[in-house]
């Protein structure tokens, strides 16, 4: 079984993803209407705001990728990647529409979607084989939490899941993990902007 962290293309070693060439989408947090962390929590986003202001500057060398690199590190996908995910019949996904507004004349506005991944696996991190450090509780109402450097996942808990996140106690819901099937279909269909880092599974 092979499992990967899904990351935006700029964090790979591929030279085509240099800062000069890659298009970054900027999102105005003041237009969200909710805490931006909520968009990565895996919880339902019933208060999604379709008037979120998201902008990008078109660069001829490299347009907006299907897996959209953005300042908030949200999982944002184009219509093309959305269609593929729907065809894969993956459970626990919700798509929230947003418009990426081009700030110069060379490009055009793009309809995109925030991808809400609601499959959260608890206890799937093998702490004995992972490299992590402990954080203290932020206040008297919260629990201590960990920051994970190197992941090792338990095969018995992740088997059968093509896309998922880990629970807060296992390092938080920002990192996204995908299966070999997911990676293969993304690459076969020419989906752009996806980087993959293989993680250990035991």
Q: What is the pLDDT of residue 149?
A: 92
The Cα 63–Cα 24 span in angstroms is 9
What are residue 93's phi and psi, to 5 degrees?
-115, 140
Give, rounded to a whole angstrom, the gap between the first and last alpha carbons of the chain.
Answer: 9
Inter-residue contact 176 to 75 (CB < 8 Å): yes
The string of DSSP codes covering 92-139 is TEEEEEEEEEESSTTS--EEEEEEEE--EESS-B-TTTSEEEEE--SS
What is the tens place of the pLDDT at every residue in 150-160?
999 999 999 99
Q: What is the pLDDT of residue 117?
A: 97
Cα 176 to Cα 94, 137, 149, 173, distances in angstroms: 15, 24, 14, 8
73: left (phi > 0), else alpha (psi -120 to 50), else beta?
left
Segments forming the whole domain that contains residue 54: 3-201
What are residue 11's phi and psi, to 5 degrees?
-90, 10
Name the token pair of 99: 């418009």
- For the chain, the domain total comes to 1
What is the tens place of the pLDDT at every residue in 61-99?
567 899 999 999 999 999 999 999 999 999 999 999 999
Three-state secondary-structure class, residue 43: coil
Total-model pTM: 0.89
pLDDT reading at 4 higher than 70 = yes
Please, which pLDDT band fits residue 37 given cuts at 50, 70 and 90? Answer: confident
């Amino acid at each position: 079984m092979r499992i990967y962290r899904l990351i935006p293309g700029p964090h790979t070693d591929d030279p085509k993803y240099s800062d000069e060439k890659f298009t970054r989408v900027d999102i105005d947090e003041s237009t969200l209407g909710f805490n931006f962390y909520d968009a990565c929590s895996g919880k339902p986003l019933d208060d999604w705001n379709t008037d979120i202001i998201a902008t990008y500057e078109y660069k001829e060398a490299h347009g907006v990728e299907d897996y959209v690199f953005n300042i908030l590190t949200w999982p944002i996908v184009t219509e093309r990647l959305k269609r593929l995910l729907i065809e894969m019949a993956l459970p626990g996904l919700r798509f929230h529409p947003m418009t990426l507004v081009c700030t110069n004349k060379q490009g055009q506005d793009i309809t995109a979607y925030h991808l809400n991944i609601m499959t959260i696996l608890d206890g799937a991190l093998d702490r004995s084989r992972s490299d992590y450090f402990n954080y203290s509780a932020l206040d008297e109402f919260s629990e201590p939490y960990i920051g994970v450097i190197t992941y090792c996942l338990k095969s018995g808990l992740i088997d059968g899941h093509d896309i998922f996140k880990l629970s807060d106690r296992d390092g938080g819901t920002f990192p996204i993990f995908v299966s070999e099937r997911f990676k293969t279909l993304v690459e076969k269909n020419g989906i752009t902007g996806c980087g993959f880092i293989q993680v250990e599974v035991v």
